[in-house]
A and B are shown apart, each in its own frame.
Chain A
Amino acid sequence: MALSLREYRARIKSTESMKKITRAMELIAASRIIKAQQRAQAAAPYARELTRAVSAVATFSNVDHPLTREEENPQRAAVLIVTSDRGLAGAYSASVLKEAERLSERLREEGKEIDFYICGRKGEAFYKFRQRPVVRSWTGFSDQPSYDVAAEVGEALIESFLKEQGEEGDVDEVHVVYTRFVSMLTQEPTATRLLPLEVVEAADDDTPSDADLLPLYEFEPSPEAVLDGLLPQYVQSRIFFCLLQAAASELAARQKAMKSATDNADELIKKYTRIANQARQAGITQEISEIVGGVNALADANASHE
């Protein structure tokens, strides 16, 4: 018994209060996930209608738009990394950053230079610590992103995408690395290319039915103008979607991490309680044997006197 009973008691107490904290965080994360999912659901109609509209314009007019145009010789790529603001979410931020590293490795192999754009304090800290340049970063909203933030991010990315090649800050491709919310148990870090847009890919997900999609639209004022208005919003809504997914994933990761922390604390408390009991019992046993020893010694002394 290296430590006294009192010290074990103190340890149990501190572990217990730690457990209370992690348990509270687990519950908070759990309740926020539901909200995050509701928010994602509330944003779905907008994304759906936008996708329909974009695919309608794309189907009925052969408009070439700067946002869908592939650069012939891409030299720079922008990578938007969506991480969390706070830690205590297990490997959440680390796995996004790892995925981003993989993507940048691939892009570098293709001979492209990379501009980093970052959402979330954890990513920012990661790049700052390694002294890597970051073009822009946004923080302070990772667990409940608003559309305004997505719009701001989208605007910045579109602006640098639309610059001519050779201009300062120009990029020819925009990639997003975020964590896809698959289920409460699995969240998958994913890298997708955002720009140039591939409208075809978007048309096949959840369009209601072909009959709904085919009306011959009149475009006002012109297909070009409509597309011009639609595409930036489409990009922003895609970014918003990524941020919402990332927020739900972050909360799920935090809930999981906090759950295992709580379980660990439970284990520790159990272990310490056993050791403390053992120490207490050892103390009692020692006391008894000392008393018994003392009594025996006294009795022996008395016996030898008589």
Chain B
Amino acid sequence: MASSDTGLQVELVAADRTVWSGEASMVIARTVEGDVGVLRGHAPLLSLLTDAVVEISAPEGVVVAAVDGGFLSVAGDRVSVLSEHAVLSEEIDVDNARTELDEARGLPTSDEAEQRIRRAEARIRAVEKAR
């Protein structure tokens, strides 16, 4: 496992752009089975994510992002987080997310409404965590 000396090579990729990439010591993400933390030397893993927050401990500070599902792949100290939509906490508009949350809560219960609630919540949580 010697792909890098300091830690993990992390890539956070959305469908239309690379959101963040660089070195980090740890990645925490929420898979469908529960939270998973990835450190150096983690066994190769491919896992589905839920709409939640991803934390990346980079040398310059913790990077927090909200993802809409997607998945996590770990292989040889390379971690890729793929999601159709991934936003860094600095890019999130909290007020926007809150209004969206209220809006989604007002909808009749359906899978779609629930998904929107979860996504909005993930965004708000990401901002709160980054503070």
Contacts and interface: CB of A to CB of B under 8 A. Distances in A.
Interface of A: 39, 42-43, 45-46, 49-50, 52-53, 56-57, 146-147, 150-151, 212, 215-221, 225-226, 229-230, 233, 236-237, 240
Contact of A220 (B48, B76, B78, B84): B48
A151 B16 CA distance: 12
B33 interface: yes
**Is chain B's binding surface mostly helix, strand, loop or mixed?**
strand
A215 B32 contact: no
Nearest to A216: B44
B29 to A, nearest CB: 11
B15 A147 contact: yes
B45 A220 contact: yes
Interface residues of B, number: 27
A218 B44 contact: yes
Nearest to B15: A147
B17 interface: yes
A49 B73 contact: yes
Contacts of B113: none
A217 B79 CA distance: 13
A220 B33 contact: yes
Interface string B1-42: 000000000010111111000000000000111001000000
B124 to A, nearest CB: 22
B13 A45 contact: yes
Q: Which 8 A-B pairs have the closest CB atoms?
A: A215-B44, A220-B47, A147-B15, A42-B17, A215-B75, A229-B48, A217-B44, A217-B46
A206 to B, nearest CB: 15
Contacts of B11: 45, 49
Nearest to A229: B48
A147 B48 contact: no
Contacts, number: 86
B46 A219 contact: yes
9 contacts: A49-B80, A53-B71, A56-B73, A212-B76, A215-B44, A215-B75, A218-B43, A221-B48, A225-B48
Contact of A49 (B13, B31, B36, B76): B13
Nearest to B42: A218
A194 to B, nearest CB: 17
A6 B17 CA distance: 57
Contacts of A240: 15-16
B81 to A, nearest CB: 9
B88 interface: no
B111 to A, nearest CB: 13
Given A217-B45, A229-B48, A229-B71, A147 B32 contact: no
Contacts of B63: none
Nearest to B75: A215
Contacts of B75: 212, 215, 217
Given A42-B16, A46-B16, A46-B82, A57 B46 contact: yes
B16 to A, nearest CB: 5
A43 B44 contact: no
Contacts of B71: 53, 226, 229-230
B78 to A, nearest CB: 8
A21 to B, nearest CB: 32
